[in-house]
Structure 1
């Protein structure tokens, strides 16, 4: 198996672990009694990541809670090439602002940035770190963003029989959607699944994913991804890797 395929397999394992952990209802749940998916709803959920992949590249805005502050990523993701490119802002004092480019294995940052998100990034000044999901909310979010697209639909019949639940009907930018809680894994103490998992999907009638949430930290630490249906520019090539990525200390 090639290095790229091994990395992709590792990232998928990370995705499955992150999106299947047990957990309680997200703060956005407003109705009582989430219910199992109908066949039509399961079909829409099965298509969600595939329709994202078929887009190729999309604009994303992501908010990530981290150590009492909020990180905001505004940029683009190429789900076919597993590449991301964004401007990062942190509301800490002093505020942090930098460029970020990442793959399924590493993240490269350009600190002290003040010029917005350029189509042609600067050639120098980059720092590279290995991604360390499960330790850093930001790194967890970067992995999840790349895995919002997959090259084939999920199994709708398995989803219909899983612990995935319809949370409610909603709208995103005026478009009607269903809000679905992803499947939950069994807890350590029992083989029965917990009521709801750690992910939420806002999906329109055509199976397009318009919003995504995932728990990336404590009970109330939910990242939110907005995926507008606007045309996105191609991503620039990642900066030269230089030396091997250093261990992440973020």
Structure 2
């Protein structure tokens, strides 16, 4: 089997961003099991359902050492672009605006006014995405990849080490909680679960996503509420769209 093909939910190039972990037995939780064909069908639709939203609201919490960063904003999954306000609970706490795309991040530090429909025209700083060294950048990149322009391969997912974990509810909506395919270097029979989690409703809609990033023990969590399209994002700062943008 082509290992890269079964790791469709999180592209293989991004799996290195998540930490390695081993399943820890929990006597109160059902034992993880293989996906049924119906569950694999639902999981295969998850990223395509996100893509079909076009633009959607996202709230994420990202652990980074002894700090927690909260992101509140919107992502355009077709245009691969995000716009959000960040709050860092470090001492002293900090807030900033961010635009990002696969090339890099534009941030407006020391922001105090919420997420404006019209971002400021100046005061932006730029850096390339550093997903292998920064938990925040890892999550920014993963958020862009939660949408895909076609369903994943359900048959390969059913044969992979993706696992059903339990049933749950989000805002009264029944969802399946599933672990994504594990790390490519996980030995057969190791009991290691993937380091991504998906909360998927009966129609294949993705309502919550979790990932362990780098060496973090805590999960980074993104909430994707089922709402109508959030509308077009404001244009990013010009430097982020130039061919000479940070690489």
Does the TM-score normalized on the shorter chain lie above 0.5? yes
Contact kept? 1:51, 1:207, Cα under 8 Å = yes
1:63 aligns with 2:58: no
1:16 CA drift (Å): 4.3
1:216 aligns with 2:213: yes
Contact kept? 1:22, 1:194, Cα under 8 Å = no
Alignment of 1:65-144 (within 5 A): 65-144=63-142
Contact kept? 1:184, 1:193, Cα under 8 Å = no
Q: Structure 1-normalised TM-score?
A: 0.87
1:51 aligns with 2:49: yes
Alignment of 1:164-175 (within 5 A): 164-175=162-173
Q: Structure 2-normalised TM-score?
A: 0.88
Q: 5+ residue gaps in structure 1?
A: 1-10
Rounded to whole Å, the distance in 1 between the matches of 2:151 and 2:87 is 34
Indicate the residue corresponding to 1:187 in structure 2: 185
1:229 aligns with 2:226: yes
Contact kept? 2:174, 2:202, Cα under 8 Å = yes
1:12 CA drift (Å): 4.4
Residues 171-200 of structure 1, C-alpha deviations (whole Å, 9 max, x = no match): 011100000000113437x45564311000
Rounded to whole Å, the distance in 2 between the matches of 1:150 and 1:186 is 21
1:205 aligns with 2:206: no
Runs of 4+ residues over 6 Å off in structure 1: 26-29
Contact kept? 2:198, 2:210, Cα under 8 Å = yes
1:109 counterpart SS class: strand
Indicate the residue corresponding to 2:3 in structure 1: none
- After superposition, the Cα gap between the structure-2 partners of 1:126 and 1:225, relative to the gap in structure 1 and judged at 3 Å, is same
- After superposition, the Cα gap between the structure-2 partners of 1:13 and 1:159, relative to the gap in structure 1 and judged at 3 Å, is closer
1:85 counterpart SS class: strand
Indicate the residue corresponding to 1:3 in structure 2: none
Indicate the residue corresponding to 1:4 in structure 2: none
- After superposition, the Cα gap between the structure-2 partners of 1:63 and 1:28, relative to the gap in structure 1 and judged at 3 Å, is farther
- After superposition, the Cα gap between the structure-2 partners of 1:207 and 1:26, relative to the gap in structure 1 and judged at 3 Å, is farther
Rounded to whole Å, the distance in 1 between the matches of 2:24 and 2:98 is 28
- After superposition, the Cα gap between the structure-2 partners of 1:30 and 1:172, relative to the gap in structure 1 and judged at 3 Å, is farther
Q: 5+ residue gaps in structure 2?
A: 1-9
Backbone CA RMSD of aligned residues = 2.4
Residues 138-187 of structure 1, C-alpha deviations (whole Å, 9 max, x = no match): 00000000000000000000000000000000001110000000011343
Contact kept? 2:15, 2:183, Cα under 8 Å = no
- After superposition, the Cα gap between the structure-2 partners of 1:157 and 1:22, relative to the gap in structure 1 and judged at 3 Å, is farther
- After superposition, the Cα gap between the structure-2 partners of 1:112 and 1:26, relative to the gap in structure 1 and judged at 3 Å, is farther
